[in-house]
Amino acid sequence: MMENVSVITLFTLSGLNFTIEQRITLFVLTLLWYLLILFGNFTIIFVIVRNKSLHEPMYIFLCNLCINALYGTVGFYPKFLLDLVFSHVISYTGCMLQGFVIHSSTCGDFSILTLMAYDRYVAICRPLTYHSVMTKHRVYIFVFFSWFVPLFCMFMNTATLLGKKLCGSHIQRIYCINWNVASLACSPSKAHVAVGYFNMLFYFGHFLFVFWSYMYLIKTCMLSKENFQKFMQTCLPHLICLIIYSFSVLLDLLYMRLGSVTLSQDLFNFMAIEFLLIPPVVNPLIYGLKLTKIRTQLLNFFYMKRSVHNKSP
C-alpha cells in the first residue's frame, strides 16, 4: 500500500493484454482511425475559416466543435499508440493532465452542442430577431464561455485530487480519468464528490435545455413546411450528432458508476473509448454531407484542385 502521494510517480493502466501481433494490428487500425479524425475535422475547420460566406453563428459553432474534437482526441490517441508499442504506464502528472483534457473536452462538446441548439431555436422560432440576438459580439462571448466554463469546471474537479494520499497505483482503464484516481485515494475526497455532482447537475441542465428547445422546434416546424425543410436541413445533423455523443458518454458513465464483473475486457475497452472513437469521425462526416453550404464548398475546393492538377503539364 502507498503511504503518500509523493511515493507514486507512475500509474499502470489495464486492458492492454494483447499479443505482439494483436498490438501491431491494433496500432495500425488506431493510427488510421486517428488520421481519419484529423483529416475530417481539419477539413471542416479549413472550409469554414477559408470561406467568409460561412462566417455565420451556426458554422462558427461547428468549427469550434471540430476544434474541441481535436483537443479531446489528442489527449487519448498519441498516448494510446505509445502504450501499444511500449509498456502501458503513465506518470502522475501525465495522468492528471490526460484526465483533465478528456473531461474538459467532453463537457466542451456538450456546451457547444447546446449553443448550436440555441442557435437553431432562435433561427427557426424567432427568425425576425435572429440577427439582433445572434450578433457577432454575442457569438464571440458564447464561444468564449463554451470553452472557459468546461475548462474551469474540470480544473476545479482535478484540483480536488491534487495532494491526496493514494493507496494504489493501478488504473482500471486504458486511459486516466479523475474517477479512477479518486478511487485510489486512501480516504474519500468530499470536495471531489461535491464538485463532481455539481458538474453533472450543471451539464444535465444543458441536456434539459436542449430537450426543451428541440421539443419547441419540432412543434413549430410541424406547423410550417418551410420551417420543416429548414429543420431537416440544419437541425437534423445537429440532433443526430447530439444523440450519438450523448449515448456514447452515457454508456461510459453508467458503466463507470455501476460496473459489471461479467463484462469482457474488450467490450469494456470499447465502451470506455466510444465517445473518443465514434463522434469525432461521425460529426464532420454528417455535417459535411448534410449541410448544403459546406458540401458545396468542399465539392468546389476538390473540383478546383482537380482542375489545376489536370491543367498542369
- Decide which of 270 and 254 is more confident: 270
Confidence of residue 5 (pLDDT cuts 50, 70, 90): very low
- Please report which helix (H) or strand (E) contains residue 170, including its range: strand 170-171
Q: Which CATH class is domain 5-311?
A: mainly alpha
**In the predicted model, what is the mean pLDDT of residues 142-157?**
93
- Specify burial of residue 156 (Cβ count, 10 A radius: 0-12, 13-18, 19+): middle
Q: Which pLDDT value is given to residue 288?
A: 72
On whether the CB atoms of residues 122 and 134 are closer than 8 A, the answer is: yes
Cell numbers describing residue 29? 487500425
Residue 89, SS3 per DSSP:
strand
Cell numbers describing residue 240? 443526430
In whole angstroms, what is the distance from residue 171 CA to residue 266 CA? 16
- Please report which helix (H) or strand (E) contains residue 62, including its range: helix 57-74
- pLDDT tens sequence across 15-69: 777 788 888 999 999 999 999 999 999 999 988 998 888 889 989 999 999 999 9
In whole angstroms, what is the distance from residue 300 CA to residue 306 CA? 10
Q: Residue 42 corresponds to which amino acid?
A: F
pLDDT score of 309 more than 60? no
In whole angstroms, what is the distance from residue 210 CA to residue 134 CA? 17
**Mean pLDDT lowest for which of 38-42, 76-80, 268-272, 279-283?**
268-272
In whole angstroms, what is the distance from residue 89 CA to residue 85 CA? 12
* Domain ranges (residues) in the chain: 5-311
Owner of C-alpha cell 419547441:
216
